[in-house]
Copies of this chain bind each other. A is one copy, B any other.
Amino acid sequence: MPDPAVSPQELAARLAGRLCHDLMGPASGVATAMELLADPSAAGSHADARALAATSARTLVGALTFARAAFGLGGDDFDAKALETLTEGLFTDLRPELRWRVAVPRFGATSGRALLNLVQIAAGTVAAGGVVSVSATAQDKAWVVLVEAKGPRAQLRPEVERGLEGRPLSGGLAGRWVQAFYVHALVTAAGGSLGYRAEEGVIRFTAAGSG
Contacts and interface: CB of A to CB of B under 8 A. Distances in A.
Interface string A79-114: 000000000000000000000000000000000000
Interface in A28-47: 28, 30-31, 33-35, 37-38
Contact of A57 (B34, B67, B68, B73): B34
A12 B185 CA distance: 11
Contact of A8 (B19, B20, B67, B185): B185
Nearest to A113: B13
Given A15-B15, A16-B72, A9 B64 contact: no
Nearest to A10: B73
A46 to B, nearest CB: 11
Contacts of A31: 57-58, 60-61
A201 interface: no
A156 interface: no
B53 A182 contact: no
Interface residue tally on A, bucketed by range: 35 or more
Contact of A60 (B27, B50, B58, B182): B27
**How many copies make up the complex?**
2
A8 to B, nearest CB: 4
Interface in A169-211: 174, 182, 185-186, 189
A7 B8 contact: yes
Nearest to A34: B54
Contact of A20 (B7, B38, B72): B72
A127 interface: no
A14 interface: yes
A35 B58 CA distance: 10
Nearest to A18: B16
Interface of A: 6-17, 19-21, 23-24, 27-28, 30-31, 33-35, 37-38, 50, 53-54, 57-58, 60-61, 64, 67-68, 71-73, 174, 182, 185-186, 189
Q: Which 8 A-B pairs give the minimum distances between C-beta atoms?
A: A13-B73, A16-B71, A8-B11, A9-B185, A20-B68, A31-B57, A34-B54, A8-B8
